[in-house]
Amino acid sequence: MKVETILFDLDGTLINTNELIIASFTHTAEQFGDRKYSREEILDFIGPPLTESLAKINPDKVDDMMETYRKHNYENHETYVEAYPTVVDTINRLKQEGYQLGIVTTKLNDTAKLGLEITGMDQAFDVLIGLDDVDHAKPHPEPILEAIDQLKANPMTTLMVGDNYHDIEAGHNAGVQTAGVSWSIKGKEILEQHEPNYMLDEMADLLEIVGVETDA
């Protein structure tokens, strides 16, 4: 099927922030939780909106926890964040070929922009839809539909790429094509259960899917 617009989740899809997120959750839980949280428990916090995950630690202190989490996360971006293999080259090639590119993330815009700047992709995207821009986060279709609206794109030729089932479900709910990434920290098998149209073993696989000629 033809693809003209490609929307990407950010964390865990384009940039590897997994260890940063785990460190920020651990730092926050140590201050506000009533017990020590295991790495496995913290992995379950990745993907949903931040307020939803933090409420599981201490529902009475969500605002304070948000501030603590975001301060740690923002201040430690440069220590942890890097792009996944083949991501930057693939994004640059898609941009060069004229595809409309967008970010649809559950992060706040300023933190999302910081991650793009650190990885040198801050000029690559035509739109960035963060948590600031919507009333409902993924898997609700609103963030994807907002990106489509701003780009004046056609849902039938739009592809949503993500590492979490929230991304795939949001794509289904918005009526667009979907692609999961096999490097998801949640595991490829979890994503496959939500039936994405495509599964990427590396980001460069996108080029073949959308019909961009490669040297390989």
Residues serving a catalytic function are: 9
**161 SS3 class:** strand
How far is residue 203's CA from residue 183's CA, in Å, rounded to a whole number? Answer: 10
Whether the Cβ atoms of residue 141 and residue 170 lie closer than 8 Å to each other? yes
| Cross-strand bridge partners of residue 101 | 6
Residues 6 or more apart whose CB falls under 8 angstroms from that of 184 comprise 12, 163, 164, 190, 191
> Alpha-carbon dihedral of residues 151, 154, 155, 157, nearest 10 degrees?
-110
Residues 87, 18: Cα–Cα separation, whole Å:
16
Q: Which amino acid is at 8?
A: F
Q: State both tokens at 198.
A: 């495509």
Distance of CA 79 to the CA centre of its chain: 19
